[in-house]
Amino acid sequence: MNLTCQAIKCPAPFKASVLASQLQLPLVIEPNQQRASFLLLELWTWLKDNQTWLEETLLKHGGILFRGFPMATPSQFEQFVKTVDPNLIPYTQGQSPRSRIHNLIYTSTEYASHKTIELHSEISYTHHPPRKIFFFCETPPKKEGETPLVDCRQVYQKLDPELRDTFFQKGVCYVKNMPGKSSAIMGKAWQEHFETSDKDEVEAYLRKGGIEFVWKDNGGLRTKQVRPAVVRHPVAGELAWHAQINVWHYTVYGKTGEALKKMVGEENLPINVYYGDGSPIEPETLQKTGQLLWHDATVFPWQQGDVLMLDNLLVAHGRRPFQGKRQILTAMTSPFNPSVSLN
């Protein structure tokens, strides 16, 4: 990874620079020099002492990459996250397969290595998505496997004005069918989505979030929730794209999605998405938004020990296919109510 020569002001004893990207995403923070005796305690102290600078810098760049620090374990990653933001949250309603390995530290999405994960804001379909999301590279892949990033403010600005207004006014409707027992076809069971087998607890959560739900005769659960496609950042005040239409719509999965629709029917698909009024999202809209998300994406190779901090409302992330073992851990913090941001 080549860094620009542009000097970025950064509190001592670290240095800051940006990737060779016109979007300046992410900002990279490193020790002034590599030191075998460097103690993580020094990093923890720096993080505590520079909270205001970190928040302001995160708002500007959308993402900060900490590189060159002796980060090696999930517990050290957890300490990093808690030092920046102690309000860790569980992966409730999380659609993708992943493992909880240390308190509220999870593996990143465990999809097959040859698949691409589309750019998205983490669990943006929930009523309280995280304000921040963190990634830790425990084991970098042998080849590729990058986590592309894109500034959602720029995505919103570049959307066709008419389409942008349509999404702003209508929002999006996410429909999910969760089986009573995990399956290769239907995915994770509802117990895994909500990290509990207590139906009363699940129903309380759904009602609190204004989520329509139906328990199915086969033991499964269907939910429907309308969420904003555009959010206004509570601090920056800027509007940003915040929908997952290019992850949830069944046509994104090509022949596999079409075959599954034919097998179980559109109403029973594991996931699908519509405009907020229930009308279908046009294929050309899916194509345009998908292309726009990838057009300005920043891509950089992971290095062991990297920690990436993103403002989940300002930056979307994805995953490129990879070769070899890849272990990227993740944590989420500070739940936010996006419905309030549009008032």
Instruction: Tell if the pTM clears 0.75, that is, is over it.
Output: yes
- Going from N- to C-terminal start, the domains of the chain cover 14-112+120-142+299-342, 154-291
Is the torsion defined by CA of 105, 109, 114, 117 positive or negative?
negative
Rounded to whole angstroms, how far apart are CA atoms 170 and 184? Answer: 33
- Tokens 């509007």, located at residue: 239
β-pairing, 315-319 vs 117-120, is: antiparallel
Q: In this predicted model, which residue has the larger pLDDT, 337 or 99?
A: 99
Report the 10 Å Cβ neighbour count for 249. Answer: 23
pLDDT over 60 (residue 113): yes
DSSP 298: B
Residues contacting 332, CB < 8 A, separation 6+: 88, 89, 91, 104, 122, 123, 130, 132, 133, 134, 312
Phi, psi for residue 342 in degrees, rounded to 5:
-100, 0
Per mean pLDDT, which of 96-100, 178-182, 336-340 is the most reliable? 178-182
- Are 14-112+120-142+299-342 and 154-291 the same fold in CATH? yes
* Percent helix, percent strand, percent coil in the chain, to nearest 5: 30, 30, 40
Q: Can you tell me the mean pLDDT for 228-247?
A: 93
Asked if 96 and 111 count as a contact pair (C-beta separation under 8 A), the reply is: yes
Is the torsion defined by CA of 307, 103, 128, 146 positive or negative?
positive
pLDDT the model gives residue 310: 98
Helices (H) and strands (E) in the chain — how many of each? Answer: 10, 20
Rounded to whole angstroms, how far apart are CA atoms 238 and 159? Answer: 15
Fold type of domain 14-112+120-142+299-342:
Double-stranded beta-helix (3.60.130)
Fold type of domain 154-291:
Double-stranded beta-helix (3.60.130)
Kindly state the tokens that stand for 300.
Answer: 């950089």
Rounded to whole angstroms, how far apart are CA atoms 304 and 87? Answer: 25
Instruction: Name the percent of the chain lying above pLDDT 70.
Output: 94
- How many CA atoms are closer than 13 Å to the CA of 127, on its beta-carbon side? 12
**132: closest CA among 71, 231, 63?**
63
pLDDT in tens, 31-58: 887 655 577 899 999 999 999 999 999 9
pLDDT the model gives residue 94: 85
Asked if 315 and 151 count as a contact pair (C-beta separation under 8 A), the reply is: yes
Q: Can you tell me the mean pLDDT for 123-133?
A: 94
pLDDT over 80 (residue 180): yes
pLDDT in tens, 260-291: 999 999 999 999 999 999 999 999 999 999 99
pLDDT the model gives residue 273: 97
pLDDT over 50 (residue 307): yes
Question: What is the average pLDDT value for the chain, to the nearest integer?
Answer: 91
**To which H or E segment does residue 240 belong?**
strand 239-241
